[in-house]
Chain A
Amino acid sequence: MIQFNPADLATMLPELFLLGATCAILLIDLFLKPTQRDVTHWLSLAALVATGVLVWRDAPAQGASIAAFNGMFLRDGVATVLKVFVLLTTGLVFLYSRDYLRGRKLFVGEFYLLLLFATLGMMLLVSAGNLVTVYLGLELLTLSSYALVALNRDSAVSSEAAIKYFVLGALASGLLLYGMSMIYGATGTLDLAKIHAIADFSANSPHRMLLAFGLVFLVVGSAFKLGAAPFHMWLPDVYQGAPTAVTLFVGSASKIAAFGMTWRLLDGAMGGMHVHWTQMLGVLAVLSLAIGNVFAIAQTNLKRMLAYSTISHVGFLLLGFVNGSASGYAAAMFYVISYALMAAVAFGMIMLLARAGFEAEEIDDFKGLNQRNPWYAGVMAIAMFSLAGVPPLFGFFAKLMVLKAVIDAGQMWLAIVAIVFAIIGLYYYLRVVKVMYFDEPHDATALELPRDRGFRWVLSLNGLALLALGVAWGPLLDWCDRAFAVAALIPR
């Protein structure tokens, strides 16, 4: 009954291409001298661009969802949008990290290959139509990430972070698998759409308890991967311990993929039970907002502060789910994209300031940046104001759309909680601006910029994009809206 249809290969052409390209780069990298590592760098970027072109070219028409391999793999609007931004942010990681890695003797082929495999995992994850594919994509992503965090193997902090990440990540994967097995037990299928159709959660259903437990485990697993409180313990240590280049990746691209997974699992498979999981997510969201924002205030390490800020942003992201409707998911997707772009600037700035033997990861390292280099101080200020959600920057409109989704759902109190914590959050972002603009620098010499001109240009563009998208965010919002409008039309 399971038949192989060669046409299915064409459906996942971008993924197959990326796989082939990654394997080719793996081989090529073997024969390169360390001085020729730039070849790997450019080849990896080229692979991402080409994959992006394929994703874009093969984007399904509005309203269409193309399934391959008996529904294991879906190509729909949501997958397309998420893949484009996963590829984009991964590309930013490559562009921002080269000088940083070189300065730390980490400029090795493994970084590129692991990232490419992680990217492949993310693409699979956001396209998954089956619990097995979800797990496959997730493990490809997280196993690569564990190794990436430990990339700087001589650093005790890095290794500790990697171990923590691995142990807790494995636990989360286990929880997720356990939940999947329960759902399989209750429904007899692994296909997300079929689970959606079969799962019976009515009061007299014999599988009610089993499904409820399965759902809880799925929510917990997703929350682990997103870093939502109270499953956030790994996040600050990993952010701080990992090389900043890897932190950038974990903080941006993988959050987009985690959003995709959460949506596929909760709405795709368990959509019939959204009354229940929206409540759970509401609790997680409030906890994340509270813990993230309050703990971030106490941090002096910028990476750690951004880690806690991530937790609070995940809280906001989850609020988009509370609506349980297409417009809410679109708002959440809009939010996660905006967050990834903002985080890219913030971590990019940390790498810009870092030099061989010096990590610019303390907030104090940004002291007086405005006197040393007004342009990049401005870029960082844009990122901070945007993360804080001050108009006219991109971050504000992302918050606006999520708040709108929450209010449309009639959950006024959640909206109030969210804005109260947003005000608390404002303080620590402003503190970074304060340090850059109002404090005197340790040494007033002009900032020594990295040689990589491409990095500087793209980082500047990334910062300006936050401003530009604050003015013209309509098209992106439209794109997100259309992606979900399509998905809602699929007969289940």
Chain B
Amino acid sequence: MHLPHLLSLLIWLPVLGAIAVLAFGRQANTARWLALLTAIATFLLSIPLWMNYVPAIPGMQFVEKLAWIPALDANYALGVDGIAIALIVLTTFTSVLVILGAWGPIEERVSQYMAAMLALEGLLVGVFAATDALLFYVFFEGMLIPMFILIGIWGGPRRVYATLKFFIYTFLGSIFMLVGLIYLHMKTGEFSLDAFAHASLGAKEQAWLFFAFLIAFAIKVPMWPVHTWLPDAHVEAPTGGSVILAAIMLKVGGYGFVRFSLPITPDASQEYAWVVIAMSLIAVVYIGYVALVQEDMKKLVAYSSIAHMGFVTLGIFVALALVRVNANPVGARLAIQGAMVQMISHGFVSGAMFSCIGVMYDRLHTRMIKDYGGIVNVMPWFAAFMVLFAMANCGLPGTSGFVGEFMVILAAFQDSPLIAAVAAFTLIIGAAYTLWLVKRVVFGEVGNDKVAKMKDLDAREWIVLGAFAAGVLAVGVYPKPLTDLMEPAVQQLVQQLSLAKM
């Protein structure tokens, strides 16, 4: 089965669903079901994307192209490679779980919540599918609007501060990228990413462009020291918002590095790789320590997200040194592959961790670690899931967390044992903060009377956590389908990297 316009369908079906939910969702349950059905349909439609993808054909597949603004030669151009497919499937998968997860907790203005989620899903798919820079930018910025609304309406007590900070911070980053894109348009006369990648650019131009992209994507990832919006946004966001934010939105940053920084400014990327690598290592180590002292569970997981995303940026930029300085394309492939696997894995793990916190929050309405304790005594099933995800968060072999981190460390070792050693340090800190969290929340004596009255998972929560667990274990035990899917794209990228542009 080969559906025409599959990518457009994946973008616009959720958006249309969002409009339908707004129009017909006066009744909360109608809105919920309509949203769930749309999300499931989108997920099902994204499966043929994976199934029909042909690894043997290089470049973009499922290509669509419509003239959008002829005067600028900007096109409605879509296409995906293995990396984008993996991220799109992650998006559609997570969206279903998020909508399911919001079934009970969201009681006010349900239709608006569901509509914002669906719109966000469509825009995220658009970001991963766009092969035109202007179109990418429109999706990239457009997705801030539903997220702004999600955090602002359904968030915690300091939601207004958090959501304004989130919006302005990320907008600040991306608008510099816009200037870079306009500049590239001036050089090439079109907006296609392919043309940008083939444009010949001098060293100075590349450096400016590199930093324009770096600001945009580093804020999105987020990398130390521009990460400060994330803990606030995570803490104040409703559970679903946190899950989408951690599982997918952060990936847009990593994806941006792969799609923009590396192909368009390879020489500058090589020259300044040390900046990014240093920032990544600081994120991995320093932010790990910051996570250790958090008393708010969501904040802890938010900081751990920053540390884990440090691996993504580390892998991407270590690859440059490997391919260019050490002439080691195999190692470079390993590094990028590892970074990409880490993105997918972190999508599952962080989504699951935030869902777990959401489950607890729904019962006691607090996120403070000290308010919990001994949950295993009253919620054995939940405890089992929580411990599994915690293990994945520390990177235990057999879980998805291990695969990506191991690949990145392995590749980093080929470049510099020192970098690898510092990065590997995370395995210790990660274990420390995660296991300490689990110890204080899940194990021990029942903390207080309120905890004693907590009920174990209901069927809906079971499905959500079970699905995340399946993802975590599948990638952890048998990552080959995932790596096979992304391998051609990674190979092509490494090939591109080996050629200087100047």
Contacts and interface: CB of A to CB of B under 8 A. Distances in A.
Interface of A: 370-371, 374, 385, 390-392, 396, 400, 403-404, 407-408, 412, 415-416, 419, 422-423, 426-427, 430, 433-434, 437-438, 473-474, 477-478, 481
Given A391-B137, A481-B71, A407 B175 contact: no
Contacts of B168: 423, 426-427, 430
Contact of A415 (B109, B144, B179): B179
B265 to A, nearest CB: 17
Describe B's contact surface by its main secondary structure.
helix
A326 B158 CA distance: 48
Contacts of B152: 434, 437-438
A400 B71 contact: no
A41 B183 CA distance: 49
Contacts, number: 81
28 contacts: A370-B109, A370-B153, A371-B109, A390-B144, A391-B141, A396-B138, A400-B182, A403-B179, A403-B182, A404-B185, A404-B186, A407-B183, A408-B186, A412-B183, A415-B182, A416-B179, A422-B175, A423-B172, A427-B164, A430-B164, A430-B168, A438-B152, A438-B159, A438-B163, A474-B68, A474-B69, A474-B71, A478-B70
Given A396-B141, A437-B149, A437-B152, A474 B70 contact: yes
B173 to A, nearest CB: 10
Interface string B188-201: 00000000000000
Interface string B164-178: 100110011001101
Interface of B: 22, 68-72, 109, 112, 134, 137-138, 141-142, 144-145, 148-149, 152-153, 159-160, 163-164, 167-168, 171-172, 175-176, 178-179, 182-183, 185-186
The 10 closest A-B pairs by CB, nearest first: A391-B138, A474-B69, A438-B152, A419-B175, A391-B141, A392-B138, A407-B182, A392-B142, A404-B182, A423-B172
B183 A419 contact: no
A390 B171 contact: yes
Contacts of A374: 22, 112
B27 to A, nearest CB: 15
Between B109, B112, B145, B153, the greatest number of chain A beta carbons within 10 A of the residue's beta carbon is seen for B145
Contacts of A416: 179
Contacts of A370: 109, 112, 153
Between B159, B168, B182, the greatest number of chain A beta carbons within 10 A of the residue's beta carbon is seen for B182
Between A400, A416, A419, the greatest number of chain B beta carbons within 10 A of the residue's beta carbon is seen for A400
Contacts of A390: 141-142, 144-145, 171
A392 B168 CA distance: 17
A408 B185 CA distance: 10
A416 B168 CA distance: 16
Between A390, A412, A433, A438, the greatest number of chain B beta carbons within 10 A of the residue's beta carbon is seen for A438
Nearest to B76: A471
Describe A's contact surface by its main secondary structure.
helix
Given A390-B145, A404-B72, A426-B171, 6 more contacts: A370-B109, A391-B141, A400-B134, A419-B178, A422-B175, A427-B168
Given A390-B171, A474-B68, A419 B176 contact: yes
Nearest to B67: A474
A214 B176 CA distance: 38
A423 B175 contact: yes
Contact of A438 (B153, B171, B179, B186): B153
Given A403-B178, A422-B175, A434 B164 contact: yes
A478 B68 CA distance: 12
Between A370, A407, A415, the greatest number of chain B beta carbons within 10 A of the residue's beta carbon is seen for A407
A208 B5 CA distance: 63
Contacts of A412: 179, 183
A385 B142 CA distance: 10
B167 A430 contact: yes
Contacts of B175: 419, 422-423
A407 B160 contact: no
Nearest to A422: B175
A437 B159 CA distance: 12
A371 B153 CA distance: 11
A129 to B, nearest CB: 28
Nearest to A472: B68
B427 to A, nearest CB: 39
A473 B134 CA distance: 13
Contacts of A400: 134, 178, 182
Nearest to A382: B145
A407 B68 CA distance: 22
B179 A423 contact: no
Contacts of B138: 391-392, 396
Contacts of B163: 434, 438
A423 B171 contact: yes
A434 B134 CA distance: 28
Contacts of A407: 179, 182-183, 186
A427 B163 CA distance: 11
B87 to A, nearest CB: 21
A374 B168 CA distance: 24
Contacts of A423: 168, 171-172, 175
Contact of B179 (A385, A392, A419): A419
A21 B176 CA distance: 51
A416 B148 CA distance: 25
B71 A478 contact: yes
A416 B175 CA distance: 9
Nearest to B172: A423
B134 to A, nearest CB: 8
Contact of B160 (A385, A419, A427, A434): A434
A476 B300 CA distance: 50
Between B71, B144, B160, the greatest number of chain A beta carbons within 10 A of the residue's beta carbon is seen for B71
A423 B134 CA distance: 19
A433 B163 CA distance: 11
B136 to A, nearest CB: 10
Contacts of B186: 404, 407-408
A400 B138 CA distance: 11
B209 to A, nearest CB: 12
Nearest to A419: B175
Contacts of A434: 152, 160, 163-164
